A and B are shown apart, each in its own frame.
Chain A
Amino acid sequence: MADLISQGTSLKERFLRTANPLIIALWLSLLFFPFKGWKAALVSFAVFSCIFISAKYISGLSKKILVLAGSMRHRIEASGLCSCRSKKILQYVLLVGILILPFMLRDYFIDVAVLVGIYMILALGLNVVVGFAGLLNLGFVAFYAIGAYTYALLNIHAGIGFWPALPLAVGLSAAAGFLLAVPALRLRGDYLAIVTLGFGEITRLILNNWDSLTRGPNGLSGIEPPSILSVSFGTLTHYYYLVLVFVLITFFVTRRVYASRIGRAWVAIREDEIAASVMGIHTTMYKLYAFAFGAFWAGLAGAVFAGKMQFISPESFTFMESVLILCMVILGGIGSIAGVIIGSVILVLLPEILREVQLYRMLLLGAGLVLLMVFRPQGLFGGKGVSLRS
């Protein structure tokens, strides 16, 4: 009797185990039904069930593959192929490649490369706030906008060139970061996120509605590109090198700061704020620094962006942009500078590659974010577990 019962439950369990993918597929396609009708629902049911059933068998296989890959990596590391010296050589090759890149590519790709550079500066800046100090900032694009608009307005109304305007643009966004942080830092965690988001929205609304100054949604056009002596950075190749210099500056400065006393304080605050304050770290002050320092780079990126585009409008500074920059920081691995750089390269290049399926790219981005968080919350290249409490 007991034997029968146990067999019964195991049968039921077996049924559930095989039926589960089908039930899930049915459920999902049912949800899909009102938006696309019966036919699409049937198709999606077929597709989903294929995916889930195959995923069930593949999941066992993928574990084996991962184990294999792990042992391969050990063997490669042991063989000395990845030694310090070969890494150095790789770095030099990469550097030379970056330097001669404009001579090998078409204008379109140089354009994309410049964009990658601008986003790298932004992502490295946001990484200071989110990655180092662990403060979630969802309105980062506001500082980017402040930098861009400061340069554009100074240039158009007062005829001030790029270089004299740059310190002003950068200083103003750093000051804005400081000003936002003063009230916001009394709040914790999610409250902070929502206030920064509000700040971003308010900035965008002001830019959009202060017609007499910013020409509202029409945007500002006719911004001069930067120039040194008589050489104007009008051409893309010149601009590429300019952005490259800025990216390198951002890279080295943020790296140095990360390794400094201030950077260590930020990490301490990120990992455990109470413990950090007990250790004598003035937490409020250091959080202020983080906000201002992050905003500083956003302002720089903004000015560079305005100079490159020669046209800016509030459209470029929406919440989605903030999210995109945040994604760059998270994709590669929060808090790791190399990860952030790789993340920004991927996220700028991906939409360009996906231009064929333009309509679907945001859909894919959204789904990709969810999947990334579910399967690799530490980012693609992040290894160490960074605990973000905010």
Chain B
Amino acid sequence: MFLQQLVNGLTLGSVYALIALGYSMVYGILELINFAHGEIYMLGAYLGIIFFAFFTAAGLTAYNLPLALMLTFMLSVLFCAAYGFTIEKIAYKPLRKAPRLSPLISAIGMSIFLQNYVMLTQGATDKVFPHLFGAAGLEFLSVRMTYLQITIIVVSIVLMIALRVFIRKTRMGKAMRAVAQDKVMASLVGINIDTVISLTFVIGSGLAAVAGLMVAMYYGLVNYSIGYIAGIKAFTAAVLGGIGSIRGAMFGGILLGLVESFGSSYLSSEYKDAYAFILLIIVLLVKPGGLFGKAELEKV
């Protein structure tokens, strides 16, 4: 029971972590709660279903399933990245110098818009992702771990490591860190801030798309409203770990997944969604900067 919940929690947590990374990166650079990020995750799930259905209709799925899945992943990541890029250009870029509340409201507006956009074009009912993997999996110590769960955890970890390497080692990653630290100084040393911000949105949206697609495969059902609650939880995860910190987002996501999975099995599953917030409030009270966050300096 305990180990089983651990596995479930890890699966859920790695998905939260993937979404939380996007939040954290955007917040680190723009200091903006990107409310539309959860919607990108939802778009990823929907695009996955749409493209997969397209490939099934084209006969590619029957002919070569892994290829079809790969193409589905690539296309939805591509489209979600494009959506993220566009959202930044439309809703956030004009507001870069506005008071803090304006981009937040604009983000909420964007989130409402995208939700209803998907609802109108795809219908309000649940969409089904075909069952591909079945219940087959590994079993040891009476713990079942389906192949899908293993895939989700492995893919998430690989992506997180890749992101970390990208941010630590590459030129663009260094530019991102510089912009996060001080936008004005970064622009003075010749970094194109707009490019960096766009790239942040593209990477974050791509990660969210992967998360959305994997969740669609895991649960098999997708609804236009899943983005809101997942987004809020991912943001909670990001805050838990100390927002703006990549490492924090990963640990926060996994911690949140574990808390949720243990909470719903040992306490009550009805309040599943509330654990995230209770945990958040407790952590913020004890450590206002989050688990890995630095103490916030007041800028006068």
Binding site for B on A (CB under 8 A): 27-28, 30-31, 34-36, 130, 136, 183, 186-191, 193-195, 197-199, 201-202, 205-206, 209, 274, 319-320, 323, 326-327, 330, 334, 359-360, 362-363, 365-370, 372-374, 377, 386-390
Contacts and interface: CB of A to CB of B under 8 A. Distances in A.
Interface string B69-111: 0000000000100110010001100110011111111101111
Q: Most A CB atoms within 10 A — which of B82, B101, B277, B296?
A: B101
B123 to A, nearest CB: 11
What are the 6 closest A-B residue pairs judged by CB atoms, nearest first? A369-B109, A366-B113, A198-B277, A366-B112, A373-B106, A363-B116
A366 B100 contact: no
Nearest to B124: A359
B122 interface: yes
Contacts of B163: none
A390 B104 CA distance: 10
Interface stretch (B136-144, B250-258, B281-289): B281-289
Interface in B253-295: 268, 270-271, 273-274, 276-278, 280-281, 284-285, 288
Contacts of A365: 109, 112
B100 A319 contact: no
Contacts of B111: 366
B95 A377 contact: yes
A388 B101 contact: yes
A163 B100 CA distance: 41
B117 interface: yes
Contacts of B98: 373, 377
B109 A373 contact: yes
A189 B75 CA distance: 37
B6 interface: no
A362 B296 contact: no
A201 B273 contact: yes
A127 B139 CA distance: 57
A191 B112 contact: no
Classify the secondary structure of A's interface with B: helix
B91 A370 contact: yes
Given A199-B281, A362-B115, A388-B100, 13 more contacts: A130-B101, A189-B100, A191-B288, A195-B281, A198-B276, A201-B232, A205-B270, A205-B274, A206-B274, A362-B116, A363-B113, A365-B109, A368-B109
Contacts, number: 152
B79 A390 contact: no
A366 B119 CA distance: 13
B155 interface: no
A209 B267 CA distance: 14
B275 to A, nearest CB: 10
Nearest to B272: A205
Contacts of B228: 319
Contacts of A183: 281, 284-285
A389 B100 contact: yes
Contacts of B106: 369-370, 373-374
B298 interface: yes
20 contacts: A27-B82, A31-B82, A34-B50, A35-B121, A35-B122, A36-B121, A130-B101, A183-B285, A190-B104, A193-B33, A194-B33, A194-B236, A194-B239, A202-B277, A330-B101, A362-B115, A363-B112, A367-B113, A377-B99, A389-B100
B55 interface: no
B204 to A, nearest CB: 17
B120 interface: yes
Interface of B: 27, 31, 33, 46-47, 50-51, 79, 82-83, 86, 90-91, 94-95, 98-106, 108-118, 120-122, 228, 232, 235-236, 239, 243, 268, 270-271, 273-274, 276-278, 280-281, 284-285, 288, 296, 298, 300
B300 A274 contact: yes
A13 B268 CA distance: 63
Contact of B232 (A30, A34, A197): A197
A366 B121 CA distance: 16
Contacts of B236: 194, 198
Contacts of A188: 296
Contacts of A34: 47, 50-51, 79
B43 to A, nearest CB: 9
B169 to A, nearest CB: 30
A166 B95 CA distance: 43
Contacts of B120: 359-360, 363
Q: Most B CB atoms within 10 A — which of A206, A209, A369?
A: A369
B114 A366 contact: yes
B52 to A, nearest CB: 12
Contacts of A386: 99
Given A31-B82, A34-B79, A373 B105 contact: yes
Q: Most B CB atoms within 10 A — which of A187, A370, A374, A390?
A: A370
